[in-house]
A and B are shown apart, each in its own frame.
Chain A
Amino acid sequence: AQSVTQLGSHVSVSEGALVLLRCNYSSSVPPYLFWYVQYPNQGLQLLLKYTSAATLVKGINGFEAEFKKSETSFHLTKPSAHMSDAAEYFCAVKMDSNYQLIWGAGTKLIIKP
Chain B
Amino acid sequence: DADVTQTPRNRITKTGKRIMLECSQTKGHDRMYWYRQDPGLGLRLIYYSFDVKDINKGEISDGYSVSRQAQAKFSLSLESAIPNQTALYFCATSGAGSQPQHFGDGTRLSIL
Q: Is the CB of B41 within 8 A of A100?
A: no
What's the minimum C-beta distance from B103 to chain A, rounded to whole angstroms? 4
Q: A105-B40, A105-B42 are in contact. List 16 more A-B contacts (CB 8 A).
A: A36-B103, A43-B4, A43-B90, A43-B103, A44-B43, A44-B90, A44-B92, A46-B100, A46-B101, A49-B98, A90-B43, A94-B98, A101-B45, A103-B43, A104-B42, A106-B42
Interface string of B55-82 (1 = CB under 8 A from A): 0001000000000000000000000000
Count of chain A residues with a beta carbon within 8 Å of a chain B beta carbon = 21
Q: Is the CB of B100 within 8 A of A34?
A: yes
Q: Which residues of A contact B104 (CB under 8 A)?
A: 43
Interface residues of B in 24-74 (CB under 8 A from A): 40-45, 48, 58
What's the minimum C-beta distance from B74 to chain A, rounded to whole angstroms? 15
Report which of B97, B101, B105 forms a contact with A101, defined as CB distance below 8 A.
Answer: B101
Q: Is B20 an interface residue (CB 8 A)?
A: no
The answer to whether residues A103 and B98 also contact, given A43-B4, A43-B104, A43-B105 and a CB cut-off of 8 A, is: no
Please give me the 8 A-B residue pairs with the lowest Cβ-Cβ distance, nearest first.
A43-B103, A97-B97, A105-B42, A103-B42, A51-B98, A44-B103, A32-B98, A103-B43
